[in-house]
Chain A
């Protein structure tokens, strides 16, 4: 019990740092350095305490320079096609030029989205996705909303 409670604190802290990075960028889109600092702190905490973060969070962080990837602000996102059917979304960090390639496929599912992963949770309390998911998704929605508003 005590272990789980301790982890809860750490997850709240990760969530706060992720939101803080979004907050800084929404205030001033050019202040990449501070957002990067928060995200790298978040990454180091997760590494030290061995906490799993949701793929939706990990995919918005640059692996090389730890900056937050928001398409249009700190990253460019393009659709690439390798063959006739296989398409990819290529996200490229604008500050360090590291790119990540994500498959676009309607039938492709991540492990956390599969029903097996959902059922496993009640037996083994895994605070990873259950705590992390809602706030992360909220911030993502908010940022997307902000962007579409900014684009108008």
Chain B
């Protein structure tokens, strides 16, 4: 087939009928690379990029012969902790840690919070908003503080954490992983530090010492007033 035919976008009149737009060249390129990486023979000496420069691409994925002696059961059992550690299921690869890739995620998070607090007009009571935020999800939030000179981590017992700002990517039991504007992944412990989240002028502070649960546990857990926070 002609090369230009493959690269051509969807014609304009068809775009209206289908409701589908063709992607930009760079997006399509990343998709193609990921697709080829996943679907070609893994042990071939050539990687996807050298194959793309040549023309012939073999698409069939030859699966290694199954070991018939031990047949796996059909139902999934899930992974245990050791397998998770070996597979590195949740480890972000360094080449994916780019700030601009996470901006759409932040945009999605904004919409989600607006939807959660029904509009978030200035008349909303702060208690109502904070009650909602307690059970909300913070993945994709920018931990920041527009007030004064402080940002991100507002207060912490360790002075080097103060001022870190970025998009929250992963939340673990004792740790926030945020990605900063300089494309760096920062790991910040929750204990003994205070974070600020800003949505449309509402700035709410998260006291990390009280927040030491997994992201999924937080929705089921009851928060109780207990003790004070001295920072």
Check if B135 sits within 8 Å of A152, measured CB to CB: no
Closest to B31 in A: A150
B108 CB–A CB distance under 8 Å: yes
Determine, out of A8-16, A81-89, A106-114, A115-123, the stretch whose residues face the partner at the interface: A8-16
Across the interface, do B22 and A34 meet the contact criterion of CB distance under 8 Å?
no
B90 is contacted by which of A26, A37, A63, A145 (Cβ under 8 Å)? Answer: A37
In the complex, the number of residue pairs spanning A and B with C-beta atoms less than 8 Å apart equals 133
A23 and B33 CA atoms in complex are apart in Å by 18
In contact, B108 and A29 (Cβ under 8 angstroms): no
Residues of the A chain whose Cβ atoms lie less than 8 Å from the Cβ of B96: 28, 30-31, 33-34
Q: Are A23 and B104 in contact (CB under 8 A)?
A: yes
CB-contact partner of B92 in A13, A17, A33, under 8 A = A33
Tell yes or no: B50 within 8 A of A by CB.
Answer: no
Provide a sorted-by-A list of 16 A–B residue pairs whose CB atoms are within 8 angstroms. Answer: A9-B136, A10-B135, A20-B109, A24-B105, A29-B34, A29-B35, A30-B30, A31-B92, A41-B139, A41-B215, A49-B219, A72-B35, A148-B20, A150-B23, A150-B31, A152-B10
Cβ-based interface call for A57 (8 A): no
Chain A interface size, under 10 / 10 to 19 / 20 to 34 / 35 or more: 35 or more
Most buried by B among A9, A146, A149: A149
Question: CB within 8 A of B132: which of A9, A74, A95?
Answer: A9
Q: Are B22 and A149 in contact (CB under 8 A)?
A: yes
Name the B residues within 8 Å of A48 (CB-CB): 216-217, 219-220
Residue of A with least CB distance to B77: A64
Binding site for A on B (CB under 8 A): 8-10, 19-23, 27-28, 30-35, 37-39, 61, 75-79, 87-93, 96, 101-102, 104-105, 108-109, 112, 115-116, 132, 135-137, 139-140, 169-170, 214-217, 219-220
Q: Which residues of B contact A66 (CB under 8 A)?
A: 89
Q: A28-B30, A44-B216, A152-B22 are in contact. Are A33 and B10 (CB under 8 A)?
A: no
A29 and B132 CA atoms in complex are apart in Å by: 32
B107 shortest CB reach to chain A, Å: 9
Closest Cβ–Cβ distance, residue A97 to chain B (whole Å): 9
Q: Which listed residue, B20, B27, B116, B169, touches A145 by the CB 8 Å rule?
A: B20
Select B105's contact among A13, A20, A72, beta carbons within 8 Å: A20
Query: Residues of A contacting B139 with CB < 8 Å?
Result: 17, 20, 38, 41
Q: Which of B8, B30, B216 contacts A45 (CB 8 A)?
A: B216
Residues in B whose Cβ lies below 8 Å from that of A150: 23, 27-28, 31-32
Q: Which of A49-93 contact B (CB under 8 A)?
A: 49, 62-66, 72-74, 76
Q: Which one of B30, B34, B135, B215 has the highest number of Cβ atoms from chain A below 10 Å of its Cβ?
A: B34
